[in-house]
Structure formats: structure tokens, C-alpha cells
A and B are shown apart, each in its own frame.
Chain A
């Protein structure tokens, strides 16, 4: 069964460092998303991406964040200068066009900022 894969599964970084989280969505999906979940809190939307551009972003997704689909298969989330409060589980998801709400999630990348 096709699945969304994310790397790394866990990354530890120092405050102020750049981090890139990688995702390989399901191949025929057209909509891509990043969500995050701070420990003990709700799953929060960060950004959605369609047709090679951001379609929506939340207020969390400030100038420190960026997304890219560099080669037609990978979908990356970059955090330019990490803060302590960026520590969270980051989930990538993808979905087919026109299929409401049926997102396929990866297993997540746990980011720990020290």
C-alpha cells in the first residue's frame, strides 16, 4: 500500500540552526501539507501546497519557515533558525484532488531544539 514517508524520524539541533525535514508524498497525490504537534497539544496546521505554490498558511508559518518541492517527489519543510518552541512532531500529509479530508499522513519527524 502506498504511504507517505518522512525523514529523519528524530532530529536534535541547537537553537539557531537550520533544519530541513523531508517527506515523500504518495506519487499521484497533488495536495501536500505540513502539520505539527507540540507534546501534549493539538495537531496544528502549518501550510498547504498545491501546483507548486503555497495555497494556505497559518500564522505559525512565519518567515522562518519555507516549503519546497524540489524534484517532483520530495516535499521539504525548512526552518531557518530554530527556536526552543519549534520542538514538536512534524507531520507531512498528502491528498488526492477532490477527495475531501482524506489525507494520508507520514509517521512524523520529531524535532528537538536544545
Chain B
């Protein structure tokens, strides 16, 4: 079975500073990797995903994540955060199309003005 570890439960960052949210996974087979975001009082939304090909994937709002197979990691980064990025971020894996997602425990990103 696969699992996901998000070591940082909370990350406070000053506005316009860079941020990295860490995600490591464990699986005996190849996996697809995802970051979901949950804004206050909303459901989860897909932020970005890695299925195959280029190991660096980007979202439309400036986040990026890099798949590192040797380190079994899929860390999420943004060079300059905004107040609107305040949310909880979940890393997730699945083994194949339409299989259930296995989520990490989430990282709450708090932006300090």
C-alpha cells in the first residue's frame, strides 16, 4: 500500500517570501502524485499533478512541484506568496487512473502580512 508523509503541519511565511511544502511518499509501484488545496470553508481543489514526462509541473497561480524519484518526494514551492495563498495543502498519490487518492495529513500555510 502507498502512503504520504507531510512533515510540516503548519508553515507560517511572510508575504512575498518563498515557501516550500514538503511531501514524501512510499509505494512499491509507480504512482501518480498530486497537490490539492483547501481554502477556508471550501472543498479540496486540484492544484497540480504529476503523471509522467517532465518532473517539474506548474499550476496557474505560480506554484510548482518537482517529482524526485530517488528521494520519493514531490515538494511544492512558490517563489513569492500572497495573502490569498492562505489555505491547507494536501499531497496525495494514486496508482492508476480513477483509483482512490491517498492523502497526507496536510500542511496549513499561513501568510503573515
Chain A interfacial positions (CB closer than 8 Å to B):
4, 31, 33, 35, 41-45, 48, 50, 56, 91, 93, 95, 97-103, 105-108
* Given contact pairs A42-B103, A43-B90, A101-B92, A50 touches B41 in the complex (Cβ within 8 A): no
* B42, A107: Cβ atoms closer than 8 Å: yes
* B105, A100: Cβ atoms closer than 8 Å: no
Chain B interfacial positions (CB closer than 8 Å to A):
32, 34, 36, 41-46, 49, 51, 90, 92, 94, 96-106
CA distance A108 to B45 in the complex (A): 12
Task: Identify B41's interface contact among A56, A99, A107, CB under 8 A.
Answer: A107
* A56, B43: Cβ atoms closer than 8 Å: no
* B44, A43: Cβ atoms closer than 8 Å: yes
Q: How far is the CB of B48 from chain A (nearest CB, A)?
A: 10
* Given contact pairs A45-B102, A100-B96, A105 touches B90 in the complex (Cβ within 8 A): no
> By CB atoms of chain B within 10 A, which of A41, A50, A100 has the most?
A100
**Residues of chain B lying within 8 A (CB to CB) of residue A31:** 98
* A91, B98: Cβ atoms closer than 8 Å: no
